[in-house]
Structure 1
Amino acid sequence: MNMTLFPDVVINDETIPSAAIAAEAQNHMAPRDKPGIAWRKAAQALTIRALLLQEANRRALRPDPVELAPGRFETEDEALIRALLDEALRITPVTEEAVHAEWAKDPDRFRSAPLWDVSHILCACDPRDEEERLAAENKAIAMLARLDGGAKAFAAAARESDCGSKAAGGHLGQLGPGDTVPEFEAALRTLPEEGVTPAPVLSRHGWHIIRLNAIAPGQVLPFDTVRPKIAQALEKAAWARASRNFVETLAQGAKITGASLAPI
Structure 2
Amino acid sequence: MSYATTYRQLQPLLIACSLAAAVVTPAAYAQTAAAPVTAPVAASSLAPGVIAKVNNVAITDAQLQRAIQQSGLPDSPNLRAALKNQLISRELFRQDAEKTHAYDNRPEVKQAVQEAKDAAITQLYLRDVIKPAAVTEQQVRAQFDSIVASLGDKEYKSRLIQVGDAAAAADVLTKLKAGADFAQLAQQASLAQNKVRGGELDWISFKTPAQEGHTQNLPLPIAQALTALPAGGVTSTPVNWNNTYFILKLEQVRPTQVPKYDDVKAVLRQQQEAAALEKATVSVVSGLVKKAKIEQ
Q: TM-score, normalised by structure 2?
A: 0.39
Structure 1 or 2: more helix by fraction:
2
Flag the structure with higher strand content: 1
Whose relative contact order is higher, 1 or 2, with alpha carbons under 8 Å and at least 6 apart? 1
